[in-house]
Amino acid sequence: MGMKAGKTTAEKLAVRNGITFYRINSDKFKTARADLFFVDDLVKERASANALIPMIIKRGCAKYPGVKELESKLEELYGADIDGSVVKKGELQFIGFHMSHISDRYTNGERLFDECCDLLMCMLENPMKEDGGFKKSLFTQERDNLVDYIRSRVNDKMRYSLTRCLEEMCEGEPFAIPGDGTEEGALLLSPQNTLEIYEQMVSSYPAYAYISGQVDDKSIQRFIDGFLARDRGNVKKINTECVSKDVKQIKRLDEKMDVSQGKLCMGFRTHVSPVSEDYFPMVVYNGILGGDTHSKLFRNVREKASLAYYAQSVLEKYKGLMIIMSGIESANRTKAEEIILKQVEAMEQGDFSEEDIEAAKKSLETGMKSMQDSQSGIVDFFMSQHLTESGEDIDSMIEKLNSVTIDDVVRVAQKVQLDTIYFLKPDDRRQEVTI
């Protein structure tokens, strides 16, 4: 392919049957990979079904009807991987499926791409069905697994507090719907109505396919030609707009739980969409405030005040949110909040140095360059680009990033609004019971 090292591109191969096919040009990896994404609006009616579908698909297909048969086959294919999952980005759900396997150079003469693609397609097109729905026993197992999974989000206290903060903050907006749907939503599903949504997914959700690694043209053509042999003449429109909401009043919520460490989550509205010219200034802003070990939050909350092991800020790119998170002693809560808000204020006032902005830019540039060393990272990057139709390549993005000035950062800093303060509070009655 002769691409310059470090230059990664996605070449549009075809638009066929309502699916856009891309080939990622990068041949340094030891694996080949095919990714397929279906995209849907995040809505209550379909969120849980969209989350359940990949779990059912993964259970096998007409040719390999059980976990044992399917997994044995994958082992034969040098530990090939076929997986499906759902991811929430902004107010969209991405239902993703992928297969990956070691490149033919490393097998004993076997050529794996065609076989792995056929297996993925078999699973996608011929899931196990009966009585006009998904196979009932399998459906029930996976629906129960989904409910267990939704309930288990409480197990990881850091993730739980983040989810709760976002839920409270975006109450009444689609964004409040969890990426895996809700328990109530899951319990309303039946083998039949889930199959119906699956049919909608394969025939009308916008779809994108990516091929990466060392795959010959013939196999790629075969993949495109054999893809989803059904009519996709009517691909629906999805809403990629970033919904912004003005904050009227700051919301405060404390939730008690039997935990040792309190988790503070502060949710902000950035009012910056991923396609706006303020987007790169926003990314730099976040880097200076809480993105890395040079950031204000890390230095002031952790290193200076010794209040926390972690103190960081993260952006939700599509929805225009920023969340500051820190794990602290309950008694230090007011102090931590004060220090954090002081850093946010300092950003508004331009109280940061040229060195700070340079460090943030360099660290972001490193991230963009490193992303190109991960096959899944590259796919994820281009998927986002294609969805927002930004059409920008990595080099021009790095250029934009590096042209951000202190004034730009101050400008976006002044747009940032605190919305919700959530605190997962250790319950004093906590006792450890150990036998």
Task: Mention every residue, 6+ apart, whose C-beta is less than 8 A from residue 409.
Answer: 281, 284, 285, 288, 347, 350, 352, 357
Q: Which stretch binds another protein (CB under 8 A): 45-53, 149-157, 163-171, 219-227?
A: 149-157
In the complex with another protein, the residue whose CB is nearer, 108 or 334, is 108
CB of 130 to another protein, least distance (A): 16
**What are the angstrom distances between the C-alpha of 262 and each of 20, 211, 302, 327?**
46, 44, 15, 6
Evaluate whether 106 touches 47 at the Cβ level (below 8 Å): no
Q: Is 248 in the site for another protein (CB under 8 A)?
A: no
In the complex with another protein, the residue whose CB is nearer, 71 or 225, is 71
Q: Is 348 in the site for another protein (CB under 8 A)?
A: no
Kindly identify the residues of this chain, within the stretch 289-318, that bind another protein according to CB under 8 A.
Answer: 292-294, 298-299, 302-303, 306-310
In a 3-state reduction of DSSP, which class is residue 18?
coil
CB of 67 to another protein, least distance (A): 5
- Residues 159-198: x where in contact with another protein by CB under 8 A, - otherwise, as a string: ----------------------------------------
Task: Mention every residue, 6+ apart, whose C-beta is less than 8 A from residue 231.
Answer: 17, 203
CB of 263 to another protein, least distance (A): 9
Q: Is 234 in the site for another protein (CB under 8 A)?
A: no
CB of 295 to another protein, least distance (A): 8
- Residues 79-108: x where in contact with another protein by CB under 8 A, - otherwise, as a string: xx-------------------xxx--xx-x
Torsion of CA 164, 166, 167, 173, to 10 degrees: 180
Other CB atoms within a 10 A radius of the CB of residue 403 amount to: 11
CB of 78 to another protein, least distance (A): 3
In the complex with another protein, the residue whose CB is nearer, 157 or 245, is 157
- Residue 265 phi, psi (nearest 5): -130, 125
Quick one: tokens of 96?
A: 């993703």
> Position 234: which residue type?
N
Evaluate whether 112 touches 77 at the Cβ level (below 8 Å): yes
In the complex with another protein, the residue whose CB is nearer, 134 or 227, is 134
